[in-house]
Chain A
Amino acid sequence: MNKNRTIKVDYLARVEGEGALHVRIKNNKVTEVKLKIFEPPRFFEAFLRGRHFTEAPDITARICGICPVAYQMSSVHAMETACGVTVDGPLRALRRLIYCGEWIESHVLHVFAHRAPDFLGYPSALEMAKKHGDLVRQALQLKKVGNEIVTVLGGREIHPINVRVGGFYKVPSKSDLRPLVEKLKWSRDAAIESVRAVGKLEFPDFEQDYEFVALRHPNEYPFNEGRLVSNKGLDIAVREFDDHFVEEHVPYSSALHSTRKARGNYFVGPQARYSLNFSKLAPVAQQTAREAGLGPVCRNPFQSIVVRAVETLQACDEALRIIEQYEPPDAPSVQVHPQAGVGYGCTEAPRGILYHRYRLDDRGMIINAKIVPPTAQNQKTIENDLRHFIPDRLSLSDEKLKWQCEQAIRNYDPCISCSAHFLKLDIQRE
């Protein structure tokens, strides 16, 4: 095998958005790894300036068609903290419920359409469906239940239109939610089967000493609130985010790279949430995870497919619990009066923490905005994984090496559309 070689894949498939990977190998050493995000900058933070604080949920939801609920949730929480309002009771529960729907939609798509074909040796979900039709049928049905939750609460399954600062424009009646109960009971069983199925896959032996960062709440598996914690000593309120994390521009990416100040790269997403919050999972999720071979901490990014299946189960179980306990609130939203100040919001998008910060004037007009999406935060960790992953695989042919690198990237389910604000793979061996 040539010690210096160039391998090039133009577009990495089955990730969200457009980007590329460039790897240079010289004398059998990886000398350069660049995750290049060339999706054009989106300028959403600039669009938000001069807009009313009530517009942020609907404007930011347009950043992503996969996780619009996450953008709505982080923005409403930021606006509410700026205005000194807390939303609790049934409205808070409904926010968790719509988030359950989005996690189910996003995770099921990733597990079965994006990632399972890699492990089962198929080039695409279509090819996989020819041999594993029942698996794909079940996944489509499971995803549909996620869609239905988002539709019932949000008005439609993509870019929901019913979320507002202070709550919702309209809340469902108990009878609106009732039809979901039987579907969710089926979904919970299907999700258990999914965890068992993906737990049997074979994973490369690859673990790293990551700094996981996620929300932690005293009583719940995190969706909307909690403190930002890590396994390396971080424990801060959301409003302290900017004191501990910094974004920097790199010339080859239209997405800013995030690092933890004075420490470096960190890891957000399902694996971080799981590893920092295992004890907060529902008992059925904990038990099923253990049966699938996962411990309370998961450091192998290739097992993230199992973690996502566990979180799908968690979301189905949580959605069912919320619906069974639901009593409609007296009003669909609480009143929020604007006041000058800064608001901070951070919620757990399917791919990890999504941070929003807004400065408002006394009329509630947005003076400036900052949005830090999960994939931007994971870019350096993805590059770092590849630096450690490639050296043991240099004997592979270029084609096989490319395919394995793509898989190492897909572990993160990167959402390039969000982060740019993907994927061309270019490996140079010199």
Chain B
Amino acid sequence: MNLSQCRPAISTCVIGIGNLRRGDDGAGIVVIRRLMARPIPNTRFVEAGDDCLALIDVWQGADFVILVDAVCSGVEPGTIYRINPRSQTLPAVFSPTSTHCFSLAETIELARILDRLPPRLLVFGIEGEDFGLGQTMSTRINLAVDEVTREIADEVAPAQTTLTLPPGWHDRTDVRCWV
């Protein structure tokens, strides 16, 4: 059996978006780091900054993509949004706070137009409270981050094929960071 035959058919990419130096904006990144604490086979973890346009290439080839980002919509801090963008347009809360980068919502719409959406896509939004420079994450957001981490782990684990891997073969977990 060669390695390519070992690889399960399903590949998953979990992408956290945010900036750890902007308080609750780092929520997506923290989710990624908590998920990485235990190996999840055949899953790729990515930490992303605010230029979401690059994500179209990052998720290329993945069958299941999960995106996590902090949002600022005015609802109770810690509120969790869970959206399947294949069946609905991402709401305005995922639109840009910047005029010079593609937002997550724009990137998903561009991917939809260019037929580059992954077969399965799930977006988690975590309502932030404090996006101040140099601030640490708020306590209430911390709890929401735990909850999203659990939900993603539940989503990802059943998606994996059970395999007996050859000696020396380690599950692949890539991390790219341009925060």
Contact = CB atoms under 8 A, between A and B. Distances in A.
Interface of A: 11-18, 65-66, 113, 125-126, 129-130, 133, 136-137, 140, 143-144, 147, 156-159, 417, 422-423
Contact of A144 (B50, B57, B99, B109): B57
B178 A156 contact: yes
B54 interface: yes
A48 to B, nearest CB: 18
Given A17-B100, A158-B49, A147 B54 contact: yes
A126 B57 contact: no
Q: Is the interface of A mostly helix, strand, loop or mixed?
A: mixed
Contacts of A15: 99-100
B99 A136 contact: no
A92 B63 CA distance: 43
Contacts of A129: 110, 113-114
Interface of B: 49-51, 53-54, 56-57, 99-102, 106, 109-110, 113-114, 176-178
B178 A126 contact: no
Nearest to A147: B54
28 contacts: A11-B99, A13-B99, A14-B99, A15-B99, A16-B99, A17-B99, A17-B100, A65-B49, A65-B50, A65-B101, A66-B100, A113-B53, A126-B113, A129-B110, A133-B113, A133-B114, A137-B114, A140-B56, A140-B57, A140-B114, A143-B53, A147-B54, A156-B177, A156-B178, A157-B178, A158-B178, A159-B178, A417-B100
A126 B110 contact: yes
Max chain A C-beta neighbours (<10 A), residue from B56, B114, B177: B114
A84 to B, nearest CB: 35
A290 B99 CA distance: 34
Nearest to A130: B113
A220 to B, nearest CB: 30
A147 B113 CA distance: 23
Given A130-B113, A157-B54, 5 more contacts: A17-B99, A125-B110, A140-B53, A158-B51, A417-B100
A422 B98 CA distance: 10
B178 A422 contact: no
Contacts of A130: 113
A143 B56 CA distance: 12
Contacts of A65: 49-51, 100-101
Nearest to A11: B99
Contacts of B178: 156-159
A24 to B, nearest CB: 24
Contacts of A143: 53
Contacts of A144: 54, 57
Contacts of B57: 140, 144
Contacts of B176: 156
Nearest to A124: B106
Contacts of B113: 126, 129-130, 133
B171 to A, nearest CB: 24
Nearest to B50: A65
B110 A136 contact: yes
Contact of B106 (A126, A137, A423): A126
A77 to B, nearest CB: 25
Contacts of B50: 65
A129 B110 CA distance: 7
Nearest to A17: B100
B96 to A, nearest CB: 10
A364 B87 CA distance: 58
A152 to B, nearest CB: 13
Contacts of A137: 114
Nearest to A144: B57
Contacts of A66: 100
Contacts of A147: 54
Max chain A C-beta neighbours (<10 A), residue from B54, B99, B106, B109: B99
Given A16-B100, A133-B114, A126 B56 contact: no
A188 to B, nearest CB: 20
Max chain B C-beta neighbours (<10 A), residue from A14, A126, A143, A157: A126
A126 B105 CA distance: 11
A166 B77 CA distance: 47
Nearest to A14: B99
Contacts of A133: 113-114
Contacts of A12: 99
B100 A126 contact: no
A11 B101 CA distance: 14
A197 B39 CA distance: 48
Contacts of A113: 53, 102
A164 to B, nearest CB: 19
A20 to B, nearest CB: 12
B114 A136 contact: yes
Contacts of A136: 110, 114
A394 to B, nearest CB: 28
